[in-house]
Amino acid sequence: MSDYSRVIAETLFDRCSDLIDLAEKADLKVMACLLHMARVEAELLRHKAKAAERLVACTGNATQHVIASI
């Protein structure tokens, strides 16, 4: 995943949080529940994006070490 994916996931998480607050204030319990589920999915996407970034960095470091040892 790229920085773009991470930003999208973070934006989704933030928007879900905002919408949950509004749904709870309007006493829309079912909508709030669905938004909580969407926020969990956005959180998972955030973690995947961060893990992908770490993997790319680790791969880059490994490549540099291999090239240096040749």
Task: Tell me the pLDDT tens digit for each residue of 13-44.
Answer: 899 999 999 999 999 999 999 999 999 998 99
Return the closest-CA partner of residue 35 out of 10, 17, 14, 9. 17
**This prediction's pTM:** 0.67
Mean pLDDT of 50-66: 82
Res 20: pLDDT: 92
Q: What does pLDDT average to over the chain?
A: 86
Q: How far is CA 24 from CA 27, 31, 35, 38, in A?
A: 5, 8, 10, 15
pLDDT of residue 10: 87
